[in-house]
Amino acid sequence: MRFILRGTEVDLEPDDVRRAIDGLAPEPIRKYWVRIGPWRYPPKQVLEAALKSKGYEVTRVGFTTSDAFSILKKLGFELGEGR
């Protein structure tokens, strides 16, 4: 899927996301989560890991939770709110 994230064109697929978080320990959930396999992760943690694995220079301050939530939802991942 191609999209623009804060002025940068990005190409990211669901398998890219899954590979990026393989073996990555989930950080504590604050409010929102994304389920990948049996685990729930904060959306920003997942998107940052996926983008970095694809070679994009990004940090979590470069995008919002809403950005991450929307992108991961469009990629077909289950998302939710609450701990």
N-terminal to C-terminal alpha carbon distance within the chain: 29
- Of the chain, the percentage scoring pLDDT greater than 70 comes to 100
pLDDT at site 58:
85
Please give the pLDDT value at position 24: 95
pTM of the model: 0.93
One-letter amino acid for residue 43 of the chain: P
Residue 16's contacts (CB-CB under 8 Å, 6 or more residues apart) are 50, 53, 54
Q: What is the pLDDT of residue 6?
A: 86
Residues in the chain, pLDDT under 70:
none
Supply the pLDDT for residue 83: 74
In 3D, which of 3, 83, 14 has the Cα closest to residue 42? 83
What is the residue extent of each domain of the chain?
2-81
The SS3 assignment for 32 reads strand
